[in-house]
Amino acid sequence: MSKAAPRLAVQGLRHLYADRPVIEDLTFTLAAGRAIALVGPNGAGKTTVLKCIVGSAEPAAGKILLDGLPIDERAEAVRRDVASLLDDLDFFPDLSAAEHLDLLARAHGNPEPEDLVDTLLDDVGLLAAADQLPGSLSSGQRRRLALATALVRPRKLLVLDEPEQRLDTAGVEWLAERLREEKKAGTSILFASHDTTLVDAVADETVALTPLP
């Protein structure tokens, strides 16, 4: 592994749904501690790119490298290093907000996550709702809990699809500040967003996608 390799390199990425290309020859690199925002209209292919990176869509061509190595050859490392939030999460109906975060932290090797969980619940504004079951949270609160699940585990790369969804103004401000802190801690961030305030506040670069004809 080269020390100079970017955290993430996407080279000549192509993706088809059936025979229809939605991504053609997309290339960009993301360094440690930096953020790239994928921008563009509905249907431009932002989610598809993120899915290729987290492995839930299969590229037709191109390479995706994490720290210089093909991401598929690093399945274990990807699981360890890449925290993502692409879709709405399915929560366990009988586990409280705090229990979800506790479970995930322990699953990722943190044997005593209590303080981390409390801090994170406070950060996302869910401390008062810590013992509530997911079904009793508002949709914005569930979104905050989903974001917290990506932040309660170790990560070198954060992959987020429209993380601003359903957050109120204060929530988007918190998110921007939190993502800036993530960058300072060395985490790289790739996110798709329609929120220009969030993009301006967080992204070092934007990659603009357009729907293919």
Nearer to ligand ATP, 47 or 141 (CB): 47
Q: Assess 193 for contact with ligand ATP (CB under 6 A).
A: no
Which segment (37-45, 67-75, 89-97, 140-148) binds ligand ATP by CB under 6 A?
Answer: 37-45
* CA–CA separation, 5 and 51 (whole Å): 22
Nearer to ligand ATP, 40 or 125 (CB): 40
Nearer to ligand ATP, 32 or 86 (CB): 86
Q: Assess 169 for contact with ligand ATP (CB under 6 A).
A: no
Q: Assess 43 for contact with ligand ATP (CB under 6 A).
A: yes
Q: Assess 48 for contact with ligand ATP (CB under 6 A).
A: yes
CB of 76 to ligand ATP, least distance (A): 27
Q: Assess 13 for contact with ligand ATP (CB under 6 A).
A: no
In the set 6, 8, 47, 81, which binds ligand ATP (CB under 6 A)? 47
Q: Assess 22 for contact with ligand ATP (CB under 6 A).
A: yes
> In the complex, which residues of this chain contact ligand ATP (CB under 6 A)?
17, 22, 40, 42-48, 192
